[in-house]
Amino acid sequence: DIVMTQSPDSLAVSLGERATINCKSSQSVLYSSNNKNYLAWFQQKPGQPPKLLFYWASTRESGVPDRFSGSGSGTDFTLTISSLQAEDVAVYFCQQYYSTPTFGQGTKLEIK
């Protein structure tokens, strides 16, 4: 199985500041035949199911604010929130769907 490792495990950022979460896969999730990275990002707030934010590493799901961005390719990926808002407090997960799906351990984002 592909192992997904996120960093950091937790992160405290001031309102209006940038938050950056990293995700590394143990092998490439870039499918050469279509040049797509099979990598998704989810946001999970307490008591709620995960919500899809990005797929194909950088395609924003409908309704996701544009302060969120996804980037990276191959084995290294980043979720960035350009200006943290109070409603962004959550746990964020990356997930690969290149093969049998696996998730990162999650990054807990809090307000400093």
* Residue numbers at the binding site for other proteins (CB under 8 A): 38, 40, 42, 48-52, 55, 93, 95, 97, 100-106
Q: Which is nearer to other proteins, 73 or 82 (CB)?
A: 73
Q: Which is nearer to other proteins, 68 or 93 (CB)?
A: 93
| Least distance in angstroms from the C-beta of 16 to other proteins | 29
> SS3 sequence, 32-83?
CCCCEECEEEEEECCCCCCEEEEECCCEECCCCCCCEEEEEECCEEEEEECC
Tokens for 50? 């995960």
Rounded distance, CA 59 to CA 49, Å?
Answer: 20
| Least distance in angstroms from the C-beta of 48 to other proteins | 8
Is beta strand 4-7 parallel, antiparallel or unpaired with respect to 76-81?
unpaired
Rounded distance, CA 60 to CA 13, Å?
Answer: 22
Q: Which is nearer to other proteins, 70 or 104 (CB)?
A: 104
Q: Which is nearer to other proteins, 42 or 77 (CB)?
A: 42
| Least distance in angstroms from the C-beta of 103 to other proteins | 4
| Least distance in angstroms from the C-beta of 112 to other proteins | 23
